[in-house]
Structure 1
Amino acid sequence: MPLPLSPAQTVQLAQSAYAMRLDSDLLTAVQAAGPGGEHFDIASGSRFTGVSGLSIPGGSSRTGFGYVAHGKAGTPRHGETLICVRGTEPTSVHDLMTDAHISAARSPLGLPVHEGFKNVAASIFGQVQTALRGRNPGTLHIVGHSLGGAAATILAEALIGTAGIKLYTYGAPRAGVDSHAQVVTKALGTRNVYRVYHDTDPVPMVPIFPFCHIPVGEVAYLLRGPGALVSVSAHLLDSYAKSVGQSGWTGLPVIAHRRFSLDTVDDLLAQAQSAAVGPAMHSIVVLRLIEKILGILLEAAGAVTGLALFGGATVLDKMAAALSSMAAASLAAAERVVEFVNVVMRFLGKQLLAKGAKLTAAFLRWLLSMLVTVIGGFAMQAIRSFR
């Protein structure tokens, strides 16, 4: 079985993809990759471009998005191929528009994914196919940071069946919904997906439910970020490089998947309320509990089916309607939803609701919108400052 690239190698390679945005000389990528790329012939590789932005006049641009390089003869990577995809360039309005374009589109396997990320992957795919023609690699190593990690995930999906695939992402946002995560995880194999994120990095927290990470659930390499609050600096590749150091994959902490249900939601609410004592506003612990509780409540309300193919305001409207209906079902359900609302209100720094407060769909829509705006704002701050 082919060995994976090391954490230190993949961080360096993720960084090298950014060198290709405006520079077509692959020697620049060789220098940026350093020792991480020593077994791949990057200098003789193929730079690819991608389209970011929106499909409106003047709303998009094509720039370099990374490269394909083949393993050098006489090295352990001979017969393998490397694909590196860059993330958002903070000075690019079109890249930022891609990040914000959260409507759903069909992935290569026909599953619902983030439209902006899918469009970038689709604009790259043909060039990657050309670079692979006649090579028949045994293994594809696909690496990406931030937006590049999400695009790399969809690109890996499109390349299923081409070769064995190992996917490495750092601080990547969620690429698709649960059905997408389930199918792609099964096709790639959980052990072939190396998702690394800092617990205080805001970018992996977007888009919110119903979008999901692969590998499905919380099987990932979870690194401690700075402090207990959402941290912009946690998204920096330099921060990831320091966190992984020279450790191998077995030396990094792994968070295993836990299946939560409505039976456990009260315990999670209690944890959130306990964690919310003191400086709860923007607490990373509280935010992760909010995400879990929201998903459980919406699943219990039967709101997951039907959310998958909608983006933007429609998703928030459906989520708010589902929570409102749940609150109206019984006194116990209403109290549970009010508890959840107050956890969110405390996180946002807003005044708490009184016990027995009436929850309207309009109010819940506003609350969810505020939550999305705050998390998205953190993510944008991180993206704009990470270089």
Structure 2
Amino acid sequence: MNTLSPTLAVELAEFAYKSLKSNKNGVTDTSMLINRNFAFSSSNSKLVGISGTVAEHVLNHSSGFGFFGLGKKGGQFAGDVVIAFRGTAGLADTLTDLHCGVTVGPNYKAVHAGFNRTFESIKPQLATLMAKAGNRPVHCVGHSLGGALATLAANWIRSQYKVNVNLYTFGAPRVGFGPFALQTETELNGIYRAVHRSDPVPMVPVWPFVHTGNEYRLSSCVSFNASSHKMAGNAPGYLNTAAKYSSYKEMQLGSIQNLAIVRLQYDKRHLASFNTHWSDKIGDALLTLLRESGKISSILAQAAVGGTLTLYDALARGVVEISKMTTEYAADAKGLLGHILNFVGKPSVKVVDITYKFVKDLLMLMLDKLNTLVRAAMPAVSAYM
């Protein structure tokens, strides 16, 4: 199965936004590169779905969510299927919801409920199109929240049709828990998750949501910058940075996520600051603490069941319980919390007693700080609407 070049993949991700304004047949102008490789001339090429917010589903507000195309004869992708999904500013509330729900995803593992609601609204169209397409390799592409939809679609297509599937995302958020990410990595033919290191959207939702596959870095600045979520422009702009690479092999590969073992020492907490490097380190340290203490399964189970307690209520209680298990775990928990305090700009606050209220308030403070950046990044998606 051939791999889309970074330039072709990112142009397809941008092309998906045209589904909002294309005519009823889904036919719209494409770039020269896309036109040379794929055809979107079918009357069923435009995908329609409903935003993941509860209000949008209640009101049944549907809109274009991307395109379904076929590789042109004689080209390197001849006969392949390509599916491009757009992002949506309407999902900003879902993305930053501290009470985010969890549901069973297309590979029967826990995923973000808001993303999955939108995918479920698109899935019947995909089923019809895939049934007609037959046994063809599939390329799923998306920017921002379109990357989350592409991830869910890739899983579902692989599960249902047993064809080779490649996944390409740009600035995509985290979609599911560890088991979802691991099965995705095992099942798909290739995963190309490109990011600007300073883009805040790939930092959320936070633990225990994790990314799927390795990270391909288009820019390496670790200081958060909402503008880095944009497709166009030079701040730095995904279209601009992806075009500099002829293949993904040329990009800087991020560290292996999800299984990193990280322990943070309390007396080194002053090293932490508010940037993507420390966001990753703190996330890895929390997951290390949860895994090694054996608490991660019960917390994931509580999150999947739902109810009045939020995922972060369960996390806060879990950290408190872990801190009481052994002196080693108590030191790891204190180190983690001390680094979070520095991350959110509260270096003068000391960790004295690890109580539920203290941990929960600190988690909420960190989430609020990250979510403020994410909301600032959403106008980059609104520009296409």
| Category of TM-score, reference length = shorter chain | 0.7 to 0.9
Partner of 2:226: 232
| TM-fit CA distance, 1:62 | 0.8
> In structure 1, the residue corresponding to 2:16 is in which secondary structure?
helix
CA distance in 2: counterparts of 1:364 and 1:146, whole angstroms: 30
Aligned AA (2:6): P
Cα 1:80–1:359 shift into 2, 3 Å: same
| TM-fit CA distance, 1:231 | 1.0
Cα 1:246–1:351 shift into 2, 3 Å: closer
Cα displacement string for residues 309-335 of structure 1 (whole angstroms, at most 9, x for unaligned residues): 516952111211121123233444434
Aligned AA (1:129): A
> In structure 2, the residue corresponding to 1:323 is in which secondary structure?
helix
Matches within 5 A, 1:21-170: 21-24=20-23, 29-31=28-30, 33-44=31-42, 46-55=45-54, 58=58, 60-88=60-88, 90=89, 92=90, 95-100=91-96, 102-160=100-158, 161-162=160-161, 163-170=163-170
| TM-fit CA distance, 1:368 | 0.6
Cα RMSD (Å) of the superposition? 2.4
CA distance in 1: counterparts of 2:26 and 2:331, whole angstroms: 61
| TM-fit CA distance, 1:24 | 2.7
Cα 1:272–1:317 shift into 2, 3 Å: same
CA distance in 2: counterparts of 1:135 and 1:283, whole angstroms: 44
| TM-fit CA distance, 1:255 | 2.4
Matches within 5 A, 1:1-387: 2-24=1-23, 29-31=28-30, 33-44=31-42, 46-55=45-54, 58=58, 60-88=60-88, 90=89, 92=90, 95-100=91-96, 102-160=100-158, 161-162=160-161, 163-189=163-189, 192-215=190-213, 219-225=214-220, 227-238=221-232, 239-247=237-245, 248-257=247-256, 259-261=259-261, 264-266=262-264, 273-274=270-271, 276=272, 280=273, 282-309=274-301, 310=303, 313-354=309-350, 357-386=352-381, 387=383
| TM-fit CA distance, 1:272 | 6.0
| TM-fit CA distance, 1:295 | 1.4
Aligned AA (2:149): A
| TM-fit CA distance, 1:59 | 5.2
| TM-fit CA distance, 1:242 | 2.0
Aligned AA (2:63): T
> In structure 1, the residue corresponding to 2:167 is in which secondary structure?
strand
Q: In the alignment, is the contact (CA less than 8 A) between 1:83 and 1:140 conserved in 2?
A: yes
CA distance in 1: counterparts of 2:52 and 2:252, whole angstroms: 36
Q: In the alignment, is the contact (CA less than 8 A) between 2:16 and 2:84 conserved in 1?
A: yes
> In structure 1, the residue corresponding to 2:297 is in which secondary structure?
coil
| TM-fit CA distance, 1:158 | 1.0
| TM-fit CA distance, 1:270 | 7.5
Cα 1:15–1:28 shift into 2, 3 Å: farther
TM-score normalised by L of structure 2: 0.87
Cα 1:296–1:123 shift into 2, 3 Å: same
Aligned AA (1:379): V
Aligned AA (2:337): V
> In structure 1, the residue corresponding to 2:103 is in which secondary structure?
strand
Cα 1:271–1:202 shift into 2, 3 Å: farther
> In structure 2, the residue corresponding to 1:70 is in which secondary structure?
strand
Aligned AA (2:150): A
Cα displacement string for residues 145-180 of structure 1 (whole angstroms, at most 9, x for unaligned residues): 111111111111111152211110111111111111
**What are the ranges of 5 or more consecutive residues in structure 2 without an aligned counterpart?**
none
Cα 1:313–1:352 shift into 2, 3 Å: farther
| TM-fit CA distance, 1:183 | 1.4
Cα displacement string for residues 41-89 of structure 1 (whole angstroms, at most 9, x for unaligned residues): 123361010111444575552110011011122322221111000011x
Q: In the alignment, is the contact (CA less than 8 A) between 1:53 and 1:60 conserved in 2?
A: no
Q: In the alignment, is the contact (CA less than 8 A) between 1:53 and 1:59 conserved in 2?
A: no
> In structure 1, the residue corresponding to 2:49 is in which secondary structure?
strand
> In structure 2, the residue corresponding to 1:82 is in which secondary structure?
strand
Q: In the alignment, is the contact (CA less than 8 A) between 1:122 and 1:155 conserved in 2?
A: no
CA distance in 1: counterparts of 2:2 and 2:364, whole angstroms: 44
Q: In the alignment, is the contact (CA less than 8 A) between 2:26 and 2:46 conserved in 1?
A: no
Cα 1:228–1:76 shift into 2, 3 Å: closer
| TM-fit CA distance, 1:25 | 5.5
**What are the ranges of 5 or more consecutive residues in structure 1 without an aligned counterpart?**
none
Cα 1:159–1:272 shift into 2, 3 Å: farther
| TM-fit CA distance, 1:212 | 1.4
